[in-house]
Amino acid sequence: MINIQWFSDHPKYLASPFYIGGDSYAGKIAPFLAQIVSEGLGCYYLLLYERQLSIEEGRRPLINLKGYLVGNAATGESVDFNSRVPYAHGFGIISDQLYETILGHCQGEDYSNPSNALCAQALITFNNLISEVQQAQILLDTCVYASPLPNDANIRMKGSDGRRILKEEIEVGKLDHPPARPKFGCVTYGYYLSYYWANDKRTRDALGIKEGTKDEWVRCHDKDLPYSTDLGSVIKYHRNLTTRGYRALAYSGDHDLLVPHLGTQAWVRSLNFSVVDEWRAWHLGGQAAGFTISYANNMTFATIKGGGHTAPEYEPERCYAMFSRWILNRSL
């Protein structure tokens, strides 16, 4: 829990300011973990681990939680995905007619699981249209996502464009869950290479992974993880943490169609905090790097110009500037 082993090995850092962050789906987990730490449960788990590790009794370690940040974050609310419709309309991906049809027939519906037949049909058309763009960053060409595929050599070779199998593939050997190969130059090509890097014996040895303890590393499991969902909306954790004085930064890449900034803005506004710094541009190198607004209770929202899902993958310099200013408690 919260890198317990690390804190146990390095207790001198317990007094240092501690922040929790997460992007995408981890943006749903981050406020939940921050809530646990804020309630002292993180310290409770730490004590349990200390006893197991024979670390001196009697110490009462405190994790010095100061705040948290989430990027392109899921919340468990329908707004995460429903906001794709107005976003796609605003960027000219869907027509006025389809937009109006969805508004008319999908009122009150969960767009990911509609009960209205007319709404469902309109959303099929919608999904077909947005599949024509790279949803993680709508200005880029569409790419294979480099998620695991069945262990089938024929499937593995599709899209190879006749190129020779990478030397790394041969060295690692046949993976049980090989990813699809994106076109060279696609942003997802790095995801593809990560499978071969992470499963290379030299990498595993360098990371101290004992042979036989861990199976093949897979970047994204495809519906084969044995778990049940018990964490619904995390909006209550955002409200609870910020009203108790913890700092929060919610940021979004403004070209992300997977979890659009419109949805993030909506749930941030739903907290009903008063505005303390009106919507404005924030700058890097004399140019607008995005837009930001600050609310009471130390809640800040910011967009990253050109950022996708997730923003740091596409705009690392702008994200670093945003983060470094925020972590130092400076205005963006």
CATH number at residue 300: 3.40.50.11320
pTM for the full model? 0.81
**Residue where a domain terminates, one of 71, 88, 110:** 71
The verdict on residue 235 lying in a domain is no
Is 67 in the same domain as 86?
A: no
**Residue where a domain terminates, one of 162, 179, 206:** 206
Beta bridge partners of 315: none
The pLDDT assigned to 180 comes to: 73
The verdict on residue 262 lying in a domain is no
To which residue do tokens 């024929």 refer?
154
From CA 234, how far away is CA 322, in angstroms rounded?
24
The verdict on residue 232 lying in a domain is no
What token pair was written down for 187? 């942003």
Q: What is the 3-state secondary structure (H, E, C) of 8-75?
A: HHCHHHCCCCEEEEEECCHHHHHHHHHHHHHCCHHHHHHHHHHHHCCCCCCCCCCCCEEEEEEECCCC
Is 67 in the same domain as 9?
A: yes
The pLDDT assigned to 45 comes to: 52
* In contact, 263 and 76? CB cutoff 8 Å: no
The verdict on residue 62 lying in a domain is yes
The verdict on residue 20 lying in a domain is yes
Residue 96: give the domain boundaries.
Answer: 79-130
What token pair was written down for 139? 């200005």
Q: Which pLDDT tens digits describe the chain residue by residue (332 residues)? A: 456 667 777 888 888 999 999 999 899 999 999 998 888 755 545 455 445 444 444 454 578 899 999 999 999 888 888 999 999 999 999 999 999 999 999 998 888 888 999 999 999 999 999 999 999 999 998 886 655 543 433 333 333 332 333 444 444 446 666 677 778 888 888 888 888 898 888 999 998 888 888 788 887 766 666 767 777 789 999 999 999 999 999 999 999 999 999 999 999 999 999 999 999 999 999 999 999 999 999 999 999 999 999 999 999 999 999 999 999 999 99
Is 295 in the same domain as 319?
A: yes
**Distance between alpha carbon 150 and the CA centroid of its chain, in Å?**
25
* Domain count within the chain: 4
Is 167 in the same domain as 118?
A: no
Secondary structure class of 288 (helix, strand, coil): strand
**Distance between alpha carbon 149 and the CA centroid of its chain, in Å?**
22
The verdict on residue 213 lying in a domain is no
Is 47 in the same domain as 31?
A: yes
In Å, the largest CA–CA distance within the chain is 68
Which residues, at least 6 apart from 176, have a Cβ–Cβ distance to it below 8 Å? 151, 215, 216
The pLDDT assigned to 41 comes to: 59
Q: Which residues are catalytic?
A: 24, 256, 309
Q: How far is CA 24 from CA 186, 267, 281, 320, in A?
A: 20, 15, 24, 17
**Residue where a domain terminates, one of 20, 43, 71:** 71
Is 99 in the same domain as 56?
A: no
Secondary structure class of 249 (helix, strand, coil): strand
The verdict on residue 282 lying in a domain is yes
The verdict on residue 157 lying in a domain is yes
